[in-house]
C-alpha cells in the first residue's frame, strides 16, 4: 500500500509559466535572456521536466524580488510529495530509527 497525500503540490514551473510568463507577458526566450540561461532550460522547467536548482532559485528570486528559499521550498514540497508516493508502508516500517544512547 502506498502512502497517499491529498494532492501533489504545484511544481514551481507552473508558477513561472502562469505568474511570470503569463502575467508579465514574457516569452520563454525573454525570460531565459533575463535569467542568463538557455531557452531550453526555461522550457523544461515550465513543462515540469526539470527541477528548480538552488542556482535557478537565486536567479528567479532576484528577477522577481522574492526569496530564493521560497522557490527551493516549492520545489522541495513537490519532490517530497512524489517521493512519498513511491514508498510503500512496508518499506517505511522496515526502516528502523537509530537509537542515540546518552
pTM of the predicted model as reported, rounded to 2 decimal places: 0.85
Q: What mean pLDDT do residues 73-95 have?
A: 93
Residue 1 has pLDDT above 50, yes or no: no
Structure confidence at residue 33 (pLDDT): 98
pLDDT average, residue stretch 72-97: 93
pLDDT at site 88 = 86
Looking at residues 38-45, what average pLDDT do you find?
A: 98
Residue 31 burial by Cβ neighbours in a 10 Å radius (0-12, 13-18, 19+): buried
pLDDT of residue 92 exceeding 90, the answer is: no
Backbone angles phi, psi at 34, to 5 degrees: -65, -35
Task: Retrieve residue 4's grid coordinates.
Answer: 497517499
| Residue 41 pLDDT | 98
Give the separation between CA 85 and CA 37, rounded to whole angstroms.
Answer: 32
β-bridge partners, 2:
88
Average pLDDT for residues 16-32, to the nearest whole number? 97
pLDDT band, very low/low/confident/very high, at 63 (cuts 50, 70, 90): very high
| Domains of the chain and CATH, by start | 12-90 (1.10.260.40)
Q: Are 44 and 35 in contact (CB under 8 A)?
A: no
Amino acid at each position: 500500500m502506498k502512502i497517499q497525500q491529498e494532492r501533489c503540490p504545484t511544481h514551481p514551473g507552473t508558477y513561472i509559466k502562469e505568474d511570470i510568463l503569463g502575467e508579465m507577458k514574457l516569452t520563454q526566450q525573454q525570460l531565459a535572456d533575463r535569467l542568463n540561461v538557455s531557452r531550453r532550460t526555461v522550457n523544461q522547467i515550465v513543462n515540469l521536466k526539470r527541477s528548480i536548482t538552488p542556482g535557478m532559485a537565486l536567479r528567479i528570486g532576484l528577477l522577481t524580488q522574492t526569496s530564493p528559499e521560497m522557490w527551493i521550498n516549492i520545489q522541495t514540497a513537490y519532490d517530497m510529495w512524489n517521493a512519498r508516493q513511491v514508498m510503500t508502508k512496508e518499506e517505511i516500517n522496515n526502516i528502523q530509527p537509530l537509537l542515540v544512547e546518552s
